[in-house]
Structure 1
Amino acid sequence: MYVEQGYKGEIGIWKYFLIPLGFIGLMVLNYLAIVLLDLDIEAIMEAEINRKGANRFLIEMLIPFIVGLALLFLWVKFIHKQTLTSLTTSRQKIDWKRVFFAFALWSTITIVITGIDIVVAPEDYILNFRWEPFLYLLIIAILLIPIQTSFEEYLFRGYMMQGIGIMAKNRWVPLFVTSVLFGLMHLGNPEVGKLGYGIMVYYIGTGFFLGIMTLMDEGLELALGFHASNNLVTALLITADSTAFQVDAIYKNVAEPDLGFDAFLPVFVVFPILLYVFSKKYQWKNWKQRLAGPVLSREEFFTSNNDETQV
């Protein structure tokens, strides 16, 4: 009963609107500025990287997420009076084994798939590895990228999932809303300008994958591990002029970006397989109830918890 964990704090509808609306408002303003001012994001990023260096630019790009995560945690603790554990999981404590399993599994898959692609199409890649800048990147990435991904998970799959679910009194509405908003958050990414809006299928599909994983597993742990792995390992392995992370990675993809089947492969093939693997490992059941069923009322939730404690 992950969504119902929100009852362990002080609800208040207005409390649930301020932080999401603030963040989404900033994303909308950013996107409108890009469209209305006809900004070339790739050119702007290239100029900033040339002026500041790739690592400094990366740090500056990640700082807002660090501030955002700190503000979200403080808001939950002091305004909602909810614990970090209940924001994270329905279990008695955060299951770090789940986080590390998802991280290790997706890291392995990412490395294997990337390696195969480099072997199959070597003309699309150049070796970009340089010891000193890569070591700086490694330190920055390990320290800051998991914070960036954790902010997105705690905001969308945690805070908003619980808040919208309690207000909607069901699970499918928060799953749909948070997944779509998560995808739309990436509208300002440079790859959207290069590939077109079709790439939103990948971003929104990833949102649904992470949301399904959270609801089925009754906690954020798997989503936290997967998302951290996805951004961290990718940043270390591959960079390209059309990506959000333009860094001193091991390889640089120099192929002309195009919206091919490989962009949709994760959503329609890889993610369903991963959900199957997780469902077997963690014995997920009652898919319909967990993904689309009703959310318990506050009284029902605490009554069921008391009954379980007594048993």
Structure 2
Amino acid sequence: MIINIGSDKMDRITFLDNAHQGKNNWWRYILTSAAAWIGPFILILIVLIPFIILSHPVKMNIGPDEVVNTINPLILLIMLGVYYTLSFVLFYFCSRFIHGKTLMNLISTVSKFNWKNMLKGASLWSIIIGFSLVVDVLINPSSVKLSLDLPFLTLLMMSVIIFSIQASFEEIFFRGYLMQGIGLLTRKPFIPLFLTSAIFAIGHFWNGNSIITGIGAVVNMFILGMVLGITTLGENGLETAIGAHIANNILVTSMVGGIDIISDLPSMLTFGGGLSFGVPYFILPFILLTIVFWKKSDKLSLIFKTQDRLNENHQNPTEIQCVNCKTTNPGIAVYCAECGENVVAKYASTSRKLVAFLIDIALLMVISGVLLAIMLVIIFINPKSDTFRPELISGIWIILTTITIFAYFVLMEKNGETIGKMAMKLRVVDEYTQKPIKYRQSIVRNLFLVADLIPFIIPGLLGIIVSAKSDKKQRIGDMVAGTIIIRD
């Protein structure tokens, strides 16, 4: 299939535009995803069930953990490699014959694989990870055991083969296939970037051996996924991301045995206090991003801009509401027919919106405090009652506070203004018509407030950065809901 586009758009083809190649019905994405991820598991299970029965003829009630513990870690690593090899093969056939897409459609906007960028990504990430490990060894030299033996060399060789396949597949699937597919639904590149990074990260929860380490893995992988996705969009190709991902998995596994789902791997370094990095892992991807886009920040700004789809001319709204007198004007109007003022919206600055939000939060905390006081009075009046146990009352308070906050923003912003926005003379309106938003838009923009508050240790940092970089000063929730905040 050849995309027919005008010459004026030839220079603006982006990585996400490749999605227009082939067939993109929703059921094709579901079928391909299921085949790639579930298919290999079923095939391997069919082979393993007879093996388990033959190996444990007496203990038919043996648990999966006990079975895994009886298998050599290197054998488990080979099984992991078999799984991802099957995944890659099934994915290739599905994308080729169900979607009609080639692998290069999912990798780059050009017809040839950029090996130079792949080596660049692998080299940079190896240096960054290596530096972090050296720092940790220097900080805790007595807790580190070095092993350069045959099992380690075997692990290293296996890691190079297995993770070259595994990491390449994951990048092509998440940052290629899935990000392009979601990109068909929106003209805002940040949305598929965020969603695919979240999906990629959640899948790593089981890499941890506890809930805490699992959550830590999710956070780290979300940040890494975002950086690799940004790199992909900025370079219009997956090669750098593939190289960095391969290097990460090879080094983390062979150097420090960093796969919690496979224990006791004969890695080169063994840390007495467990796996750690001299520099916190979540900082490392930002170092990579800084190096890759050094003096190329203009490419990063494209991620936060609304882009025209191929074969689609963006239609101007048929109507636009005057910000000053609320009169409805034709969509092509520049000045209001009623008051003569410019109808073009004045986007609210990020700092102004932040102050308005803090005012709202302060008000809501007062309301939450009142609810808490009521709950405490109930506990005080009924100290021995099973019905009013402190933990139950605490749960009810948290639920009521959450509902109150969500309802406050949804209902108030449906009419354009919260108390904070009134104080700062701001208003939420539709992105294109500048009319009051609908309930659907209000609900969506506030549901995505959870995303804007990332990272939760510094609440709202992601939303502030996105808003500051956006042409229309939109946070993630605004981009998804199609809303903007303007100054009255």
Q: TM-score range by the shorter chain?
A: 0.7 to 0.9
Aligned to 1:134: 152
Aligned to 2:201: 183
Structure 1 residue 119, shift from structure 2 partner? 2.3
CA distance in structure 2 between the aligned counterparts of 1:219 and 1:46, rounded to whole angstroms? 43
Instruction: Give CA-to-partner distance per residue, 1:241-284, whole Å, 9 cap, x none.
Output: 846564211111220579xxx698343x3322321211137x45
Aligned residues: 277
Contact persistence 2:118–2:240 (CA under 8 A) = yes
CA distance in structure 2 between the aligned counterparts of 1:190 and 1:276, rounded to whole angstroms? 28
Is 1:296 equivalent to 2:316 in the alignment?
no
Is 1:279 equivalent to 2:299 in the alignment?
no
* Secondary structure of the corresponding residue to residue 126 of structure 1: strand
Q: Which has the higher helix share?
A: 1
Sort the Cα spacing of 1:52 and 1:14 in 2 relative to 1 into closer, same or farther, 3 A.
Answer: same
Aligned to 2:243: 225
Sort the Cα spacing of 1:244 and 1:264 in 2 relative to 1 into closer, same or farther, 3 A.
Answer: farther
Aligned to 2:328: none
User: Which structure has the greater CA radius of gyration?
Assistant: 2
Counterpart amino acid of 1:67?
A: L
CA distance in structure 1 between the aligned counterparts of 2:146 and 2:79, rounded to whole angstroms? 26
Counterpart amino acid of 2:280?
A: L
Contact persistence 1:172–1:293 (CA under 8 A) = no
Counterpart amino acid of 1:5?
A: N
Aligned to 1:307: none
Sort the Cα spacing of 1:295 and 1:67 in 2 relative to 1 into closer, same or farther, 3 A.
Answer: farther
CA RMSD across the alignment: 2.8
Contact persistence 2:167–2:249 (CA under 8 A) = yes
Matching residue within 88, 95, 110 for 1:76: 95
- Unpaired segments ≥5 residues, structure 1: 27-42, 301-311
Instruction: Give CA-to-partner distance per residue, 1:7-55, whole Å, 9 cap, x none.
Output: 12222222123233566779xxxxxxxxxxxxxxxx9768635x33221
Contact persistence 1:149–1:227 (CA under 8 A) = yes
Sort the Cα spacing of 1:111 and 1:288 in 2 relative to 1 into closer, same or farther, 3 A.
Answer: closer
* Secondary structure of the corresponding residue to residue 233 of structure 2: helix
Is 1:87 equivalent to 2:100 in the alignment?
no
Aligned to 1:40: none
Aligned to 2:234: 216
Contact persistence 1:20–1:160 (CA under 8 A) = no
- Unpaired segments ≥5 residues, structure 2: 1-13, 40-62, 314-488
Sort the Cα spacing of 1:241 and 1:136 in 2 relative to 1 into closer, same or farther, 3 A.
Answer: closer
Instruction: Give CA-to-partner distance per residue, 1:221-255, whole Å, 9 cap, x none.
Output: 11100000000012121126846564211111220
Sort the Cα spacing of 1:220 and 1:256 in 2 relative to 1 into closer, same or farther, 3 A.
Answer: closer
Aligned to 1:309: none
Instruction: Give CA-to-partner distance per residue, 1:97-116, whole Å, 9 cap, x none.
Output: 00001101111222222122
Bigger shift: residues 114-123 or 186-195: 186-195
Counterpart amino acid of 1:10?
A: K
Is 1:105 equivalent to 2:119 in the alignment?
no
- TM-score, structure 2 as length reference: 0.52
Contact persistence 1:194–1:242 (CA under 8 A) = no
CA distance in structure 1 between the aligned counterparts of 2:278 and 2:304, rounded to whole angstroms? 26
Aligned to 1:203: 221
- The one of the two structures with greater contact order (alpha-carbon pairs below 8 A, sep at least 6) is 1
CA distance in structure 2 between the aligned counterparts of 1:15 and 1:94, rounded to whole angstroms? 26
Counterpart amino acid of 1:102?
A: G
* Secondary structure of the corresponding residue to residue 80 of structure 2: helix
Instruction: Give CA-to-partner distance per residue, 1:42-91, whole Å, 9 cap, x none.
Output: x9768635x33221111112221111111111111111111211110112
CA distance in structure 2 between the aligned counterparts of 1:207 and 1:93, rounded to whole angstroms? 24
Counterpart amino acid of 1:6?
A: A
